[in-house]
């Protein structure tokens, strides 16, 4: 079935996601190696094509509108599938003996896998890697079904029925936007207050959501959603826009914390850490390429 016309430019969607991640058009332009006027023109073209205002432009800069936040969420899914398409077709060109089929949870795929693959490529330059991304539950299902040889997930425990190896530990932080009453707060937020507060949450099945839910369950509590989103990028944009607080990976918000776009709020009573694991089918050790990637990942911990 033909795509409806006009359809959005993928490069412009990717640029919009970068604005959400990096906090400004100028930073996104630098990341995409284009000038700020070119980036602004591309984003205006995207708005005109979609007939939706995505950015609110002021003398202080640009921030995502609610429509922009939603568009970033949808664009993230589209771009992930495009990257899967590109890595998949690249893998089809490779010899099956030099192909590693890999899956990783979204946080791991975005913030850790690129660094791992850079070092892995130096060690095994002839091996082609295809990468699928999803939440930890989805990655586990791919490994269990044999669709990929190796997966990287985060969560409170190893999945049943798969072999696994711990790679690293990841801290989760409670973060708020600069306009939130908790911004700069020194007094810790306890379990009951956190559970009573509407939060911007990841979808069920994500490692982040599992850790938070299990920690609150220890206090006979459960998280209260203000909004559920499928990516950390969308969550950060929603928090910055004032939708509410969120619990996210420290890996994902280091830049926003340094810039002041987000602030970390201290917690008490809750141990919000999760383990990053490599997982593979039980009963057989990973092939050489998989073992090498696990070794590379472990060296970064």
Domain boundaries, the chain: 10-75, 95-165+278-299, 169-274
Q: Give the model's confidence band at 95: pLDDT under 50 very low, under 70 low, under 90 confident, else very high.
A: very low
Q: Give the model's confidence band at 130: pLDDT under 50 very low, under 70 low, under 90 confident, else very high.
A: very high
The pLDDT of residue 243 is 95
**Contact (CB, 8 A) for 172 and 247:** yes
Neighbours of 183 (CB within 10 A): 16
What whole-number distance in Å separates Cα of residue 246 and Cα of residue 267?
Answer: 12
Q: 95-165+278-299, superfamily in CATH? A: Periplasmic binding protein-like II (3.40.190.10)
Task: Tell me the C-alpha to C-alpha distance, in Å, between residue 258 and each of 40, 140, 234, 240, 264.
Answer: 25, 33, 19, 14, 11
pLDDT digits (tens, 9 = 90+) for 229-242: 988 889 999 999 99
- CATH code, residues 10-75: 1.10.10.10
Q: Give the model's confidence band at 8: pLDDT under 50 very low, under 70 low, under 90 confident, else very high.
A: confident
Q: Is the pLDDT of residue 18 over 50?
A: yes
Q: Is the pLDDT of residue 97 over 70?
A: no
Q: Give the model's confidence band at 300: pLDDT under 50 very low, under 70 low, under 90 confident, else very high.
A: low
- Mean pLDDT is lowest, of 12-16, 61-65, 191-195, for 61-65
- CATH code, residues 169-274: 3.40.190.290
Mean pLDDT of the chain: 89
The pLDDT of residue 91 is 56
pTM of the predicted model over 0.85? no
Q: Both tokens of residue 16?
A: 């919009």
Decide if 95-165+278-299 and 169-274 have a common fold. yes
The pLDDT of residue 49 is 87
Q: Give the model's confidence band at 111: pLDDT under 50 very low, under 70 low, under 90 confident, else very high.
A: confident
The pLDDT of residue 96 is 44
The pLDDT of residue 62 is 83
Higher pLDDT, 174 or 89: 174
């Amino acid at each position: 079935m033909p795509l409806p016309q006009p359809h959005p430019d993928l490069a412009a969607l990717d640029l919009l996601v970068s604005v959400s991640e990096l906090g400004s058009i100028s930073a996104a332009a630098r990341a995409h190696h284009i000038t700020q006027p070119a980036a602004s023109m591309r984003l205006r073209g995207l708005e005109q094509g979609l007939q939706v205002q995505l950015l609110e432009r002021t003398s202080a800069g640009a921030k995502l509108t609610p429509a922009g936040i939603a568009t970033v969420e949808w664009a993230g899914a589209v771009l992930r599938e495009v990257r899967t398409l590109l890595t998949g077709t690249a893998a089809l060109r490779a010899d099956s003996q030099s192909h590693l089929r890999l899956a990783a949870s979204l946080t791991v795929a975005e913030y850790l896998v690129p660094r791992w693959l850079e070092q892995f490529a130096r060690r095994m330059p002839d091996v082609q890697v295809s990468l699928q991304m999803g939440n930890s539950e989805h990655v586990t299902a791919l490994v269990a079904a044999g669709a990929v040889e190796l997966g990287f997930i985060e969560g409170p425990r190893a999945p049943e029925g798969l072999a696994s190896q711990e790679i690293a530990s990841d801290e989760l932080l409670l973060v708020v936007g600069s306009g939130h009453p908790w911004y700069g707060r020194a007094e810790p937020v306890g379990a009951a207050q956190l559970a009573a507060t509407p939060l911007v949450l990841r979808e069920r099945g994500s490692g982040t959501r599992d850790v938070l839910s299990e920690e609150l369950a220890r206090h006979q509590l459960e998280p209260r959603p203000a909004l559920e989103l499928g990516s950390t990028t969308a969550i950060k944009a929603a928090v910055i826009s004032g939708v509410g607080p969120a619990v996210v990976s420290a890996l994902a918000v280091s830049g926003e914390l340094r810039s002041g776009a987000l602030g970390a709020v201290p917690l008490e009573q809750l141990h919000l850490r999760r383990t990053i694991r490599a997982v593979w089918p039980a009963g057989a050790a990973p092939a050489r390429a998989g073992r090498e990637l696990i070794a590379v990942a472990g060296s970064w911990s």
